[in-house]
Each structure stands twice: as C-alpha cells, then as structure tokens.
A and B are shown apart, each in its own frame.
Chain A
Amino acid sequence: MAGHEQVRAGPAHPPPENGVRLDVRGLEVRVGPAGPDVVSEVSFTVQAGQVLGLVGESGSGKTTVVLALLGHARRGLSISSGEVLVDGVDLLRLPAAQLRAVRGARVSYVPQDPSAALNPALRVGTQLNEAIRVHPGAVEDPGARIREVLEEAHLDASSDLLRRYPHQLSGGQQQRVGLAMAFACRPSLIVLDEPTTGLDVSTQRHVLDTIRSLCQAYGVAAVYVSHDLAVVGGLVSDVAVMYSGRVIEAGATARVFGDPLHPYTRGLLSAVPSPLQAMKLTGIDGQPPRPGRRPAGCAFAPRCGFVTAGCRSQPPEPVLIDARTVRCMRVAQVRESSTGAATALTGAAPAAVGEAPVLSVREVSAGYGRRPALTGVDLDVPAESCVAVVGESGSGKTTLARCIVGLHRNWTGDIRFEGSSLAVSARDRPRQTLRRVQYVFQNPYTSLNPRKTVGQIVAQPLEEYLRLGYRERSQRAARALADVSLGADFLSRYPDQLSGGERQRVAIARALVVEPDLLICDEVTSALDVSVQAVIVELLRGLQAQHRIAMIFITHNLALVRSIAQSVVVLRDGAVVESGPVGRVLDRPGDPYTARLMQDVPKLARPGVPGPPAQGAAASEPATP
C-alpha cells in the first residue's frame, strides 16, 4: 500500500547542509521555576528523513520531552534550560507569536488518541482546511494540498470523506486524518505521541508504513514516542531509551535492541513477548521514581540487578561504548554478562486431553439491543489449562467474558460449568457458582473501590461468598497478597497509593482468595506498561500452576498468547474463526485472518532469538513463503 512513487513534491524547507533537522541540546524541564527536574540532560539529533524512537515506561518523561520539542510545557512545568534547534532555529528562544506560527507549519504534532484530538463538531474537511489556513502563505492552493495529503495518507479524497464528521470514520481513518493534518504544511519536524496505540495490528502496521514513507519522501525528521518496543523496533532507525527523565541509552536501533547495554533496556526487551516463540517474560518489577523523589545516585538503582554501593551514591555520567551512549557505571560488567533476554520456554504444559472441560460454551449468541456482538460461539476450557481468546477490538471477546460471568444478560445458548448450565444473569446464580468463576477486569484503575483499603478489598469476597469471620478473613487476605508478591504493609493502603501493576495484583489476589476453579482475565495487562505486563503474566502463569485452576486469558496481543496459554480461540466480528492448540494455530494458521494477524503483529529482533525478516517500507504485500 505504501510507496514512494505516489509522493510527488519535495520538502518545503531544504534541510541544513549537515542534514540535521532536529538538534536537542541539554533540554531540562522543571516543576515550577525552581522545583525538581522532570527531565534533564536530554540531547539528541535527528537527520532529515529519519525517525527517532523515544521509549520508556509511563512516567519516564517521554511526553514531557516531545511537548518541549514544540516549545510547550504542561501546566505546572517549565522548560528551564536547553535548546531545541529545528533547521538551526532555537524554538525555545522564539517570541510567542513566532512560536505559534512555527507550530503546525514547521513543527507538527500527532497526538495519541485521534478520536479525542479531532473536534467532533467540525467536518474533517473544515479541520484540514483550518490547519492550513491558520498559517497564511504556507500553502499556495489549500484545496489541492488537502487532496494531495489525503492521498499520501491513503485516504480517498474523491469520496465524501471531507464532508464527514470524525465519529463517522474508523479509528485508523481518524489517525490518517491526523497524519494528513500534520503533514499538510510540509513540516521539518513531526512529533508522534504513541499514534497507533489504540489501533488494531493490521491498521497499525499500515499507519506505520505511511509514516515511514512520508518522512523519507519529504525529508522530515520525526520523533516517535512509544512504550511498545516491537513497534519502535520495526519503524525507527535510532532509538533513545528514557528512564526517570534521563536518556539512559541511545544509538542505532539495531545496536541498542540487538545488544542492550543498560540493565533497564535489557529489562524492557526481555519483557516484550514474542509471537514467534514461547518465552519466559522477565520484566522489571517496581516503578520508576517520581520527580523530586529520585534516589541520590542512579535513578534505576532500586530496581537494578547490577547495583553496587557506588550506583547509589552518585548519578552515572553518559559513556560512549559500542557506538551508543549509555548512562550506567556498571556498563562493562553488564556487557560481559549474558543478555538475560529471551529465555525460551520449552515444554509448556500440554492441554489436558480426554477429561471433561471445566467450562464449555455452546452456540452462544449475544447482542447489545438489536446489534449482534457474538454469533454461535463455542469454547471449551479443559481443567488446569489456559485458553487464550484473541481478537481485535470489537471482536466480542469482552462480551463473551461478560456472558460467562453473567454481567451481560442479553445472550442465548448454553454455558456449562462443570456439567451444569449457568443462569443467564449473575443475579440468578447461586453464590457458590459465582465464587468458583472469578473475573479480573481490564482496568485496575476502575476495578478497585478507591474508598476501601487493599485489605478490605481482598477480604470482601471472603465475607460475601464464604461468610468468614474477621480474623480468618484477614489471615487469608494477607496470604493472598503474599501470593501476588505484595507485602502485608499493603493491607492498609488505598488504591490511589498503588501503581498500575500493584493494583492489578490486588485485583488478582481478590479473585484468587476465594479459591476459584476458573479465572477469567480480561485484557488484564492492556492498561499496564510492557515491563509490568511481563511481571503480571509470569505471576498469572505461576499462580495458575500453583492453584491448579483453569484460566481464560483474553487479549488483543497475539504475542502474549504463547507465553501463557496452551490453546487459543481467534474471534472476529463475534464469531470463532479458528481454535486449537497454540503451536498449531500460530505456526500453521488454518484461516487467512489468523495468518494476517500473525503477519501484521509487530515483531522485535531480539538477542538470542531468530529475528523476523526485516520490515521494509513495502512489506505490506502478503508474504508468500
């Protein structure tokens, strides 16, 4: 779909002679005028036509950096020092009026959520027009330019697209409109803040291809922020890894991802699941320190496996080693040690055969009003095994889970749990049946009552299902917390004192404390960082084996499936496309849809694991092996 030949015009602003479009030097952003720094000592350059990936966990300062590239700081923050040179002009020294003129014309921004970034009350055409006309003189013929950028973004300009409102477009189309808007004035620098996070893998891949080809065609320097290392690895030429407001490792993507030298980069990479091979995910436990609460020495020291006393006493200076800069005192020792990434899992427990399934779903159809969400879904969960339910957003995976637990009431068919049919609604099910099927919600930020302590939250099901006394409840709650690696000091904390990963552990502890026979995990890691996702997935796998329970693991991330499940069900538009053992379905997909998903899922070249074929700009034709 993507192709350079479609792109006609050259860049509006010729790049400087050395080709450096963006040069960031010593950028520092502080809380207030003199508070603690949020990001500091951030320097990098981006050549014309290149894409720099900025990666790190949430809270690492990525978004703060890219907003500073536009000369903007969030409320309460201020850019205290540094230079942002775009084609040699320092944006941070421009007067307000000139800065406004530069934004959107020379420097443009593509936000994370296209549905929130487009004005829902204005037609697409009006908004595109506005983006151009706000910079008088930047474009000679706005109408022609709009047609041109729409075509470049692979949108059909001839259709009635321009007269539509944003809600009448799909997520992918919305993001393409956002891209078209960003490229409309032929900028020198474009900043992309996780623009494909909410998109399905196939759409994501096409959008990424478009970004890459447009940047190359127009000599645009791009900074691409993402927490998804697999996406970044396939897209960008250079990468900068951020932690706690500092760039801790930066260099060519192949080097940094192929042979990471900072313990944090290693941790991040070993947390990325592979769609090609079952891996033990390690991840990084804990959370990054907040600005103002950073330790005296290296900010990563509390979470680092290579830590020494020296790390804790003074912050590391960046060193140049193996053609990249690394901010670690122990880099020599890290380099000598094995990569630690990609521990392949061998001999994952095979699905139990011949036994009666714990749960069997037959011919289940469900809908919202008259709109069908599921049609004739069949699913079997064998005892003590994990079944992954995979599908894109809108495929009906969450609806299926909610039918099974009885939260969605508008369904027909038969769901049998240990041989007996379940009532449609949870209200009509006996308490003990409710207890034996536990559900962990997607978003740990809404599934814990903010007014209750962790102890109350975990003990509550013991009171409701089992009517246990206070002492017994407290003991079992503490034990359940220990199971998910949370100490007894968490009992008296409130959810807003916990990180996302800790919240999800509490939710898991609440489900397991009543000793269920079936655990349903609905996208439990999608709201979490990759590093935390790895920890949670490993935790779930360990607990599933330890408690010998059956599990349904719902996810949109095909790569995760191998790391946790024995069999998989692929859903599309509410119907089962394919199901079977994980190895068979993912390696030899019987359905073209599964094959396409497997092909489009971003794959990361990693140390120790055979890498994927290089993803070129024109790699979107179906692969013909």
Chain B
Amino acid sequence: MTGIAPAVSPEAAPPARTGRHPWLSVLWSTARTPRGAAGLTMALLVVLVAVIGPAVSPHSPNDLATLTFAKPSGQFPLGGDFLGRDVLSRVLNGGWLLLLMAVAATAIGIAAGAAAGMTAAYLPGPPDGIIMRTVDVILAFPQLVFALLLLSLLGPKLWLIVLAVGLSHAPAVARVIRSATLDIAERDYVKVAELQGMRPAKVMTKEILPNLISPLMVEAGLRLTYSIVIIAGLAFLGFGQPPPTANWGTMINENRIGLQLNPWAVIAPAVLIALLTIGTNTFTDAVARVTIGVDRRPEEAALLDDLGPEQA
C-alpha cells in the first residue's frame, strides 16, 4: 500500500464551471462576450424605448397636434404623421405591445415545439410519424401565410395573432428539438433512468429537458426575432390593433405615402424594429457560441480538460 495518497484530495477539484442555474449562467457568460454585449445593448435600447416610452411621451399619441407630414421641428422632433399626429409620441407608445406579443408568441412556439419534438423523438412507435408528418405539412406553408390563414379563418383578434404566430413557430422548433433529443435519448444516463422504472413523461422532463437548454435558448432567440418581424409585418398588412392605436408595423404602412415629405415617420419605427431584430439575433448567435463551449460532448470535455479551463 505504499504510495497511495488520501482518497479525497480537495485541492484536486476544479472550480465550478456550469453553475447552479444553467440558464442564468449561460445568459451571464453570453452577456460578457463582445458579441453578446453588443446584441444585448441593441435589444435593451429598443426595449427601453418601448417600456418607458409611454411615460415620457411629450404628446398624446392620438392627438392631431401638428400638420400632416410636418417636417421635424423643436416641438415635434420627428415631425407629424399622415394625420398630423406627433411621430415621436407614436413611436414611444407603439412598441410595448409589439414586444409583449412577440415574447408571448415565442413562448407558445417554444413550448409547443419542444413538447412535440421531445415526444416524437423519445416515445417509440406511432407518435413520431404522426407528429413529424404534421410538422412537414405545416412547414410547407410560409410562416406569414400560415398566420394569415388562421387569422382570416377566425378573425383578427390580438390573442389570436399571438397564438397563430406562436403555432407557426412550433414546427421548426419541433424539428430542432427532435434531433437534439434523439442524441440525448441514447445517452447512458437516460438508460439509467429507464432501468429505475421512471415513467417516460418524467424521463423527458427530468432527464432530457435540462440537457436541451442550449438548443432551446438558441431557438428562443431566433423565434423571438421572427416573431417581431411577423407581428410587425401582420400589423403592416392590417392585422394588428385597430386604429388609432400606435404600432410600429402599422406606422410604416400608413406613413409610407408621405415618405418624401417626412421620412422620419417611416424611418423611426423601421430603425427600431431593425435594431431589435439585429440585437436579438446577435445575442442568439453569441448564446450559440457560448453553449458550444459549455455543452461540449462529454468525451470532448475530457480531452479539453487536459488543458485546464483557461482556454477551454
């Protein structure tokens, strides 16, 4: 028994890397990358405008305070819109609902898609075929067309817009989650859970779902971007809050005839939408890059551990 060190050597333990709350730790380390910080800054800027906008808006968004397509002036920094309302006030008031709807639609899409994808991949037998063929059929329609189809059938209600956009996300999410689940379901720890007699629903929620964090986060970011574009696009096409409520998408549509008289009435909402989507997309991209590092396959992690966490 010569040459044996104590079985437990505390100094050998490396420091924590994936923290106690994996979601938060991924978000936090993403925000600290240059790319993540840039994306987050852009998106937060727009969120800030949308959230505190109604409180600081100089005029009521629906008052006919100035002239039709008035040029920017000291009192109306972004000029007037097609009815002579203050563009700045309408921009400040027209964002929060769009954001809220986009977040809700994303949540619906991710939840439905993840549930469908995991079920298809994990349960044996018919569910896979049924779910994935349904997904194929829905994917055959462009997302906007699918949402329009639902809306024209059931009428333009706000909750229905959210639901329609959310459901139009589900098939794409389901595909991604299904392939990620197929990989994880073959891991030995899932087999261990099965040998413990765990029910499939519990295996999916307790063993598989926590390991889908990185694809889910990437999907969530991507779908949020799409949601913003589609909801703004539906508003542009007339499916949104009824007039005179301010809305960035609607503003672009109703003011485009005066583009030469007061371009700010179109540019301001367009820039905000662009900034928001570029921001969320950039941040998502950064999340993907970070999670590749965090969620390396275990064998790779073992190899990289040779070098210590500094450059892993």
What are the interface flags for B172-194 relative to A under an 8 Å C-beta threshold, 1 for contact and 0 otherwise?
00000000000000011101111
Q: Give complex CA distance A61, B192 in Å.
A: 34
Q: Which residues of A contact B196 (CB under 8 A)?
A: 434, 460-461, 464-465
Q: How far is the CA of A289 from the CA of B308 in the complex (A)?
A: 9
In the complex formed, the residue of B with least CB distance to A439 is: B195
Which chain A residue shows the least CB distance to B10? A489
Q: Contacts A284-B3, A289-B12, A340-B2; is A497 near B298 (CB within 8 Å)?
A: no
Among B10, B195, B210, contact of A434 (Cβ-Cβ < 8 Å) = B195
B298 cross-chain contacts in A, Cβ below 8 A: 443, 445-446, 450, 496
Query: Does chain B have a CB within 8 A of A603?
Result: no
Per-residue CB contact flags for chain B residues 61-104 toward chain A (1 = under 8 Å, else 0) read: 00000000000000000000000000000000000000000000
**A285 & B306 in contact (Cβ 8 Å cutoff):** no
Flag the segment in A40-48, A218-226, A300-308, A585-593 that touches B: A300-308
Could you tell me the distance in whole angstroms from the C-beta of A95 to the nearest C-beta in chain B?
A: 27
Q: Which segment, of A202-210, A290-298, A363-371, A574-582, faces chain B?
A: A290-298
Given A445-B302, A447-B192, A510-B192 in contact, is the A266-B2 Cβ separation under 8 Å?
A: yes
**Interface stretch of the complex, out of B14-22, B48-56, B157-165:** B14-22
Contact A290 B3 (CB under 8 A): no
Cβ distance B155 to chain A, nearest Cβ, rounded Å = 43
Tell me which of B3, B188, B211, B305 contacts A267 (CB under 8 A). Answer: B3
Interface 0/1 of B300-312, CB less than 8 Å to A: 0110011110110
List B1-30 residues whose CB lies under 8 Å from chain A. Answer: 1-18, 22
Contacts of A76 in B (CB 8 A): 307, 311
Nearest B residue (CB) for A539: B7
Q: Say whether A337 contacts B2, CB under 8 Å.
A: yes
Question: Chain A contact residues (Cβ within 8 angstroms of B): what range?
Answer: 35 or more
Check: B126 CB closer than 8 A to any chain A CB. no
Q: Give the distance to chain B from A552, nearest Cβ to Cβ, in Å.
A: 15
B188–A450 CB distance below 8 A? no
Contacts of B2 in A (CB 8 A): 263, 266, 282, 305, 337-338, 340
Q: Can you list, as one digit per residue, whether each of A492-510 has a CB less than 8 Å from chain B (1) or not (0)?
A: 0110110110000000001
A496, B4: Cβ atoms under 8 Å?
no
Contact assessment for A451 and B5 in the assembled complex, using a CB-CB cutoff below 8 Å = no
Contact of B16 among A285, A489, A494 (CB under 8 A): A494
Contact call B18/A450, Cβ cutoff below 8 A: yes
A569 to chain B, nearest CB (A): 23
- Tell me, in angstroms, the Cα distance from A596 to B8 when the chains sit together: 41
- Give chain A residues whose Cβ lies under 8 Å from the Cβ of B197: 426, 431, 434, 464-465
Q: Which segment of A30-38, A83-91, A154-162, A167-175 sits at the interface?
A: A30-38
Are B3 and A59 in contact, with the CB atoms below 8 A? no
Q: Is the CB of A77 within 8 A of B307?
A: yes
Q: List 15 A-B contacts (CB under 8 A).
A: A61-B306, A64-B306, A263-B2, A266-B3, A282-B4, A284-B5, A431-B197, A449-B207, A452-B210, A485-B8, A486-B8, A489-B10, A496-B301, A497-B17, A499-B12
Add 17 more A-B contacts to A304-B5, A464-B197 (CB < 8 A): A31-B307, A36-B310, A58-B306, A293-B14, A295-B11, A302-B9, A303-B9, A305-B3, A406-B195, A431-B197, A441-B191, A445-B302, A446-B189, A464-B193, A465-B196, A465-B197, A496-B17
